[in-house]
Amino acid sequence: MIAELKFPRHPLAELAGWDERVRLMVRPRRYEHVLRVAELACQIACANRLDEARAYAAGLLHDIARDLPDAELLRLAPPECAIDVGHPLALHGRAARTLLERWGYPDSVVLEAVEDHTTGPRGGNLVAACVYIADVSEPGRGVNADIRELALCDLGAALNRAIVSKVTYLQGRGIQVHPRTLRSYHALPELRSPACDLPGVS
């Protein structure tokens, strides 16, 4: 798969080396998920005339810290809130960014997309939007096919739906929403009107 893709604009000439590192860091089923996310993120970027190289790279790298022990996640990404302390898995995006920076990965757009894939894109990073949507809707999950299809024609609407879906899902089960996710939620354009706010989100 990697050998068939050629991304001349990407700052890393040997993406295959990073592919091997990811493969060694995660369980086999996780690696299959990673490849599906990378491929879908690339498709979404292509459909929206965005940077396919960065979208694929961010998808490939997004879960590199996903299978690390809790103690290692906490070491790499010091907690910002009570959710991080009680549920260290929420830190794996930030932990992945820390690892990649230490290993010399140079692209800040990709690094931000990796960090934000668990909680939602910040600051208009459209590569991050591609990866966030791909992560929640890749075919192997068996859910959110509507979001996946929408992303191929309207990235903004698909991102809005994905974030609202996540917040609604968590709230419906009485699970506290991460502050970063809430910030992403409140940044959605159509949710800036009080009439559109979901109950209990603050």
CB 125 within 8 A of CB 111: no
Q: What is the CATH number of the domain that holds 6?
A: 1.10.3210.10
Q: Residue 200 has what pLDDT?
A: 35
Note whether residue 55 is domain-resident: yes
Q: Locate tokens 């590569």: which residue?
A: 127
Note whether residue 144 is domain-resident: yes
CB 61 within 8 A of CB 18: yes
CA angle 43, 18, 44 (to 5 degrees): 10
Q: Residue 122 has what pLDDT?
A: 85
Q: Which domain holds residue 70?
A: 2-153
Note whether residue 125 is domain-resident: yes
Angle between helices 52-61 and 108-116 (to 10 degrees): 50
Note whether residue 180 is domain-resident: no
Note whether residue 85 is domain-resident: yes
Domain count within the chain: 1
Note whether residue 197 is domain-resident: no
Q: Locate tokens 């990965």: which residue?
A: 105
> How do the pLDDT tens digits run along the chain, 202 residues long?
443 444 444 434 457 789 999 999 999 999 999 999 999 999 999 999 999 999 999 999 999 999 999 999 999 999 999 999 999 999 999 999 999 999 999 999 999 999 999 999 987 899 999 999 999 999 999 999 999 999 999 999 999 999 999 999 999 999 999 999 999 998 887 543 333 333 333 2
Note whether residue 179 is domain-resident: no
Q: Residue 142 has what pLDDT?
A: 95
CA–CA separation, 103 and 91 (whole Å): 18
What CA–CA distances, in Å, run from 195 to 128, 170, 198? 28, 20, 9
Please count the CA atoms within 13 angstroms of the CA of 42 that sit on its side-chain side: 17
Note whether residue 65 is domain-resident: yes
In order, the DSSP letters of 77-108 are: S--SSHHHHH-GGGGHHHHHHHHHHHTT---H
pTM for this prediction: 0.87
Q: Residue 187 has what pLDDT?
A: 87
